[in-house]
Structure 1
Amino acid sequence: MGKSLEEINGTVSFDASANAFRKFIMYLGPGLLVAVGYMDPGNWITSMAGGAQYGYILLFIILISSAAAMLLQSMSARLGIASGMDLAQVTQQMANRPLGIFAWILTELAIMATDIAEVIGSAIALDLLFNIPLALGVTITVLDVLLLLMIIKLGFRKIEAIVGVLIFTVLLIFMFEVYLSSPNVSSLLTGFVPSSDIVMNKGALYIALGIIGATIMPHNLYLHSSIVQSRKYDRTDFGKKSAIKYATIDSNIQLSIAFVINCLLLVLGAALFFGSDQELGRFYDLYHALSESHVGGAIGGAVMSTLFAVALLASGQNSTITGTLSGQIVMEGFLKIKLKPWVRRLATRLIAVIPVFICLWFYGSSESKIEDMLIFTQVFLSLALPFSIIPLILATNNPKIMGEQFTNKLWVNIISWILAIVLSVLNIYLIIETIKEFL
């Protein structure tokens, strides 16, 4: 079986004789690309809608989702380094042909759902910043292909740096906006405690599953297992052990930043809009409410709304990069078909814009319908997630794939299986409740 993402595999220097800090710096990067998926436009809409509609109670969901994400991404990184394969290659090897095709189709749909969220988020940001109609904004997002081509030519390390700058731009913007919004600290801290309202209230459960789907994204498990192999670490047991250590540190640090950003998004929605008589929690609602708010004075509202739109655009563009890499990994791993990155990117983006254009055609430039579609994509990701988690657990517990010393510890197996089962049960519950509504 060929190398995962052969064009970048083992291309980034890694000095095994360096001290611990220098090793960490050399390995810093793959976690940034993974963290992008944890703060894309899908996260925005679910977290901010959750805060605006249900206050702080869904902070608990962000907390457990982020903790679960750290575990799953560390397993994904360990799989890539220990086996020398990515999750798509391993799944294709473990499954029979029908199961392999099913897993590929579901993963492709998950990537498309992610891409739809990026399209909608970027198009809305262009509308908010430059008053560009949604249909034209969606068309412009197809040009992301050209942007990606230019970025890829700079080299993989440069891609990591660009992504890092955009992530910290988003972080600083929302730290500033939450500071101005003056949230209730006591209520905020209480939000990290589990509440029965999350399960008893179907609307809250729907948003909670959207947050889970937006936080633990299926394509990120495939992405991480591949890009951790970009470093030139020794492919010996000792070299792999060291690489796993620094890959895990990198991943946990970046996902901690993503956790903070997602909490800031929800806190901003709750602090400014929870309990309001208005129907808030969507991008346009929040943008206009921010622009009209008196937080930070008369000028403050305009600054906050503009920064909100800038951060949304940065988030959408960031996700474009990782979505393309994930698509390439999945197609090559499952089908062993290699396409040029720009061909793959163009095909994925054109497919992603079709349902958005259909929605615009049926409903016109209906802001609420477009944003409903975005929330649905995140819930779909939650429904698809167990089908990526289960192969990951099976693979990382298989000594023939991992080697004896790199298989899961008992506690990792227990927690990951509980996560897969609980998520599956909640998904089934939501499907049943949704069907009941239509009967």
Structure 2
Amino acid sequence: MDARSPSLPPDQAAALPVPGGWRKPRGEPSLTGMFASVRVAKTGSFWRKLAAFMGPGYLVATGYMDPGNWATSLAGGSKFGYALLAVALISNIMAIILQALCARLGVGSGRDLAQACRDAFPKALAWPLWLLAEIAIAATDLAEIIGTAIGLNLLFGIPLEIGVIVTALDVFLILALQAIGFRWIEAFIVGMLGIISACFAIQIAMADPNWGEVIRGFAPTTQIVANRDMLYLALGILGATVMPHNLYLHSGLVQTRNYGDSVPEKKEAIKLATIDSTIALCLALLINASILILAASTFYKAGKTDVAELEQVHSFLAPLLGSTLAPTLFAIALLCCGLSSTVTATLSGQIVMEGFINIRLAPWLRRLTTRMVAIIPAALVTLWYGEKGTAQLLIFSQVILSLQLPFAIIPLVMFTASKAKMGEFVAPRWLTAAAALIAAIVVTLNVKLLIDFVLG
């Protein structure tokens, strides 16, 4: 069944001949109401066509700068200065390569990553992969709950315990955006990213960092691997940047474009979708680097090397930068980040559940289910440990994401490297080699982290 063709009932889809390399036909696409809903011009300039593809990359980029990423970047910048900028850069390069493969898989095979795992692997393997993906989404949602609750607390004085509960109401935001069309979801995300970027641009100008040290910070050093504390934060940054659920998300979102069925049209779609995600991820790098630079140029410089709580950042910024505007901008950016990340978590949750096990819940029910799973630990930690506990939970959630990464990256590399599964859209050997190297690095770093903790 072709990627752009109307979906068929499961019994009819199962009767179709299975395309080469796959155990079963794709069946009904994920995000059915949004599938092929955005029209792409068949003729016109390159820029006009690119404009039609701009959007999914920014939803993906939002996941690369969620509140969990803030916690790891702030902790890394305050404790180690600019040294972990190299990790942010390398993580972003990894993300660009992997998202290029996601676009290729989604367009070339007509499947998102969850569907590809379901259609390529037996249930004994596909179901554990689904469970791991759900754990990753819950960890992501946990970070968003805490970040949004802290933003509400800093701006409006809402207690953290109440803010955690209030975050469940964001389901109405998701429903409103989905009701008026996918392009409105993309516009909302781009608007939030614009506000976040402006807030950090002003704060960085106030901080006036040493730009020579900033540039040197992008050069990798062996100290990152040798120092266990630095490696822990580095893995947190890696997990918060190359997030596993984003791989499922992008491979599904590229299919919201109605790009046509022919090979040339699909090849052009892969190219345009890759450009979109690359530009968006470069913006994500600027924001993530800005968070780390802000922490290094204020807290590390002032000797405050143990700053990890987002509330601490808010209270320390005013005296260090000599302006009451800085903490307000920080809180606004944090709240915008939490709200935008919640949209992408919902969409990735739908793709994972529909793709792996073909269970189709109403968006509000799917959202509330995921949020309830994440709210319970967030509420307990907030009640028992307060602000310090939320900071530790944020960083731990990002390390969980890093540990989940191999289970998403390895299948992605396998599928896109397979001529039988991808046909004319198989990934070039250099791209497969780069992605395989990324997978090996992630696995190696995770194993070292586990060994370090086992050995105490």
* TM-score bucket of the superposed structures, by smaller chain: over 0.9
Q: What does residue 307 of structure 1 align with?
A: 329
After superposition, residues 16-415 of structure 1 pair within 5 angstroms as: 16-278=42-304, 279-293=306-320, 295=321, 297=322, 300=323, 302-363=324-385, 366-403=386-423, 405-415=424-434
Q: What does residue 419 of structure 1 align with?
A: 438
For 2:196 and 2:366, locate their aligned partners in 1 and report how far apart those are by CA, in whole Å: 28
Letter in 1 for 2:443: S
Deviation of 1:400 after TM superposition, in Å, equals 2.5
Deviates most, 352-361 or 199-208: 352-361
For 1:148 and 1:410, locate their aligned partners in 2 and report how far apart those are by CA, in whole Å: 40
Deviation of 1:275 after TM superposition, in Å, equals 4.5
Q: What does residue 11 of structure 2 align with?
A: none
TM-score, normalised to structure 2, is 0.93
1:316-370 residue CA offsets vs partner (Å, 9 max, x unmatched): 000110100100000011101111111000111011101112213433xx21111
* Percentage of identical aligned residues: 45
For 2:249 and 2:55, locate their aligned partners in 1 and report how far apart those are by CA, in whole Å: 13
1:152-198 residue CA offsets vs partner (Å, 9 max, x unmatched): 11210011011001001101111111111010111111101111221
For 1:170 and 1:28, locate their aligned partners in 2 and report how far apart those are by CA, in whole Å: 19
1:358-396 residue CA offsets vs partner (Å, 9 max, x unmatched): 213433xx2111110010000000000010000000110
Unaligned runs of 5+ in 2: 1-26
For 2:375 and 2:307, locate their aligned partners in 1 and report how far apart those are by CA, in whole Å: 26
For 1:421 and 1:79, locate their aligned partners in 2 and report how far apart those are by CA, in whole Å: 20
For 2:155 and 2:273, locate their aligned partners in 1 and report how far apart those are by CA, in whole Å: 37
Deviation of 1:265 after TM superposition, in Å, equals 0.6
Does the residue aligned with 1:194 lie in a helix, a strand or coil? coil
Does the residue aligned with 1:143 lie in a helix, a strand or coil? helix
Deviation of 1:127 after TM superposition, in Å, equals 1.1
For 2:66 and 2:57, locate their aligned partners in 1 and report how far apart those are by CA, in whole Å: 15
1:58-116 residue CA offsets vs partner (Å, 9 max, x unmatched): 01101111011000001001100011110000011111111111100000000000000
Contact 1:53 1:281 in 2 (8 A): no
Contact 2:308 2:391 in 1 (8 A): no
Letter in 1 for 2:447: I
Letter in 1 for 2:406: P
For 1:185 and 1:165, locate their aligned partners in 2 and report how far apart those are by CA, in whole Å: 28
TM-score, normalised to structure 1, is 0.96
Letter in 2 for 1:137: G
1:429 and 2:448 are equivalent in the alignment? yes
Letter in 1 for 2:409: I
Does the residue aligned with 2:30 lie in a helix, a strand or coil? coil
Letter in 1 for 2:419: P
Contact 1:269 1:281 in 2 (8 A): no
For 2:446 and 2:269, locate their aligned partners in 1 and report how far apart those are by CA, in whole Å: 35
Deviation of 1:282 after TM superposition, in Å, equals 2.6
Deviates most, 274-283 or 381-390: 274-283
* RMSD (Å), alpha carbons: 1.0
For 1:4 and 1:51, locate their aligned partners in 2 and report how far apart those are by CA, in whole Å: 39
Which 4+ stretches in 1 moved above 2 angstroms?
275-279, 360-363
Does the residue aligned with 2:284 lie in a helix, a strand or coil? helix
1:11-60 residue CA offsets vs partner (Å, 9 max, x unmatched): 11111112111001111111111110011101111111111110001011
For 1:127 and 1:419, locate their aligned partners in 2 and report how far apart those are by CA, in whole Å: 39
Unaligned runs of 5+ in 1: none
For 1:48 and 1:61, locate their aligned partners in 2 and report how far apart those are by CA, in whole Å: 13
Deviation of 1:133 after TM superposition, in Å, equals 1.0
Does the residue aligned with 1:18 lie in a helix, a strand or coil? coil
